[in-house]
Amino acid sequence: MAQKTDPPANTLSEEPAWKQRAIERSTKAAKLRAEQRVERFLDAAQAIITEKGTTDFTVQEVVDRSRQSLRSFYQHFDGKHELLLALFEDALRRSADQIHAAAAGHTDPLLRLKVAVQLLFELCRPDPDAQRPLFTDFAPQLLLSHPTEVKVAHSPLLSLFTELMTEAEAAGELHPDAKPRRLAALTMQTVMFNAQAGGGAPEDGSDDAHVITADEVWEFCSQGFSRH
Amino acid sequence: MAQKTDPPANTLSEEPAWKQRAIERSTKAAKLRAEQRVERFLDAAQAIITEKGTTDFTVQEVVDRSRQSLRSFYQHFDGKHELLLALFEDALRRSADQIHAAAAGHTDPLLRLKVAVQLLFELCRPDPDAQRPLFTDFAPQLLLSHPTEVKVAHSPLLSLFTELMTEAEAAGELHPDAKPRRLAALTMQTVMFNAQAGGGAPEDGSDDAHVITADEVWEFCSQGFSRH
DNA sequence: GGCTTTGCGAGAATATCATTCTCATTTGAT
DNA sequence: ATCAAATGAGAATGATATTCTCGCAAAGCC
């Protein structure tokens, strides 16, 4: 899409600056409108999700809800997956902020990490009351279809955890040969997936009480299972 | 499925035994046939999967490949998800056996665990060469639509790891207050999901070399990240 | 052996979605 | 005012899963 009939780059200096500015001004409004429309789609989708507590929505639903048209939707998104990705990224970014804020309330590196881990766990757990981002719901789908983009979406959280982990390392709280970034990645994945997996309805199998808690996950990530 | 028009349990004793036997005999053949058909479906699906290296197959494909009919398919399966579930369970069961066998080659409890973890990791990693069960491919989908069944499918592996973990505990290799079953669950999830997440194409982002290795996962699960 | 019930193959019919396309209208820029 | 791009409405397409209808053919029964 969109390779306009702009002159090649070498003519940039030939074009009078006023023209470029004019074009830009003219473009800005259009971009703004586009952003608003995108925003409406995103809001509608988010509303539907939190409303029916699932990520199984239809593009049509989003379109109806946002009072726009299919035409418009596909003009702004490459497909449903881009909408999902956008929501996903947003949710992760917001979560990262939230966790960052929570960790800011403490100074001890390990405690900051603990707070972060436990909050992340709560945020990732499928909430029966459906007020949570629910972002772990579509993560799996996207992980299959667009793994690269998912990794990108994870990056705010990864950065945050890497930072926390690095602090901990600086404070000498980690193994001597610890690689903060890798430990951050491992910890994140562990927390997120275990939260998601454990959260469901309590099984009625012979042995119950499986529901992993945030504390257990923290214990596990920080201590492992070995006695040392 | 299948609550036949059998009389309720309290009439069991009223029915003459010969009649039950007759019915059973008559039923047995049918059941056998059904099993063979189911098997053909499963084999066909498995063949397609390993052939095209993906789990994105069509019910029609399976039907064609198995030289049966859609009618038959839906007579034996409640839907595609049941087929997936069946394959999934099978793969997990086989993997559990394989891991069990591998662990049997050692006597030291921690070493047994290590071998198990590392083999599980390899089995769960998306293999470019597509000879692996690939069971981690449809796990995410099923986890969304049928979480309970997925948990059931996990049980062979969970049992195995619980056993290994219990041995380790008995040998005093775990924390004093360790809960083997929970540690087993945590470890399993951690290994499986991290294997799956790390496996994709190496990102080209600024910082690379992210690909988590089996050793790292083992280190993480057994030692955690804290210095203690 | 005929007769009947049941299972099954072939494939048409439905249903659900995502995605695309057409046409007329609206909106924004000049 | 005028022209081009954006939109809305909704039909058309395409891919799949799932169901249904029609007969045939094997399995069990007399």
Same domain, B111 and B53: no
B68 and B129 belong to one structural domain: no
In terms of C-beta density within 10 A (0-12 exposed, 13-18 middle, 19 or more buried), how is residue B22 classed? exposed
Please check whether residue A5 lies inside any domain of the structure: no
* Residue B55 belongs to some domain of the structure: yes
Best of A54, A159, A186 to disrupt the B interface (most B CBs within 10 Å) is: A186
Tell which of A28, A58, A77 closes a domain.
A77
* A92 shares a domain with A32: no
Written as tens digits, the pLDDT of chain A (228 aa) is: 444 444 555 555 666 777 778 778 878 888 899 999 999 999 999 999 988 888 889 999 999 999 999 999 999 999 999 999 999 999 999 999 999 999 999 999 999 999 999 999 999 887 766 566 666 777 777 887 888 999 999 999 999 999 999 999 999 999 999 999 999 999 999 999 999 887 655 544 444 567 899 999 999 999 988 887
- Mean confidence (pLDDT) of chain B: 85
* Per-residue pLDDT reduced to its tens digit, B67-82: 999 999 999 999 999 9
Read off the CATH number of the domain in which A44 is found: 1.10.10
Q: Which residues, including other chains, have CB under 8 Å from residue A18's CB and lie 6 or more apart?
A: none
Decide which of B54, B77, B100 is a domain's last residue.
Answer: B77
Residues A109 and A140 in one domain: yes
Does B140 reside within a domain?
yes
Mind telling me how many Å the CA of A104 is from chain B's nearest CA? 20
Q: Are residues B146 and B158 in the same domain?
A: yes
Per-residue pLDDT, A31 = 87
Q: Which of A48, A77, A106 lies at the terminal end of a domain, its last residue?
A: A77
B66 and B85 share a domain? no
Find the CB nearest B148 among A175, A203, A228.
A203
Sequence-distant (6+) residues with CB within 8 A of B27 are none
CA-CA-CA-CA torsion for A110, A115, A116, A122, nearest 10 degrees? 150
Q: How far apart are CA A109 and CA A107, in angstroms?
A: 6
Report the amino acid identity of residue B167.
E
**Residue A144 domain-assigned?**
yes
Q: Does a structural domain hold residue A11?
A: no
* Contact of A194 with A157, CB cutoff 8 Å: no
Give the domain range for residue B184: 81-228
Q: Identify whether residues A63 and A99 lie together within a single domain.
A: no
Convert the pLDDT of each residue in B26-59 to its tens digit.
777 778 888 999 999 999 999 999 888 888 899 9
Mutating which of B175, B210, B213, B226 best tests the A interface, going by the most A Cβ atoms within 10 A? B226
One domain, residues A73 and A86: no
A102 burial level (CB within 10 Å; 0-12, 13-18, 19+): middle
Closest CA of chain A from B84, distance in Å:
16
pLDDT in tens, A25-66: 878 888 899 999 999 999 999 999 988 888 889 999 999 999
The C1' atom of C14 and the CA atom of A61 lie apart, in whole Å, by: 21
Question: Are residue B68 and residue B121 in the same domain, yes or no?
Answer: no
Report yes or no on A2 lying in a domain. no
Residue B159 near chain A (CB below 8 Å): no
* Closest-CA residue to A144 (of B117, B200, B5): B200
Residue B5 falls inside a structural domain: no
Report the domain count for chain A: 2
CA distance B219 to A174: 13
Domain containing residue B89: CATH number:
1.10.357.10
Q: Do A36 and A90 sit in the same domain of this protein?
A: no
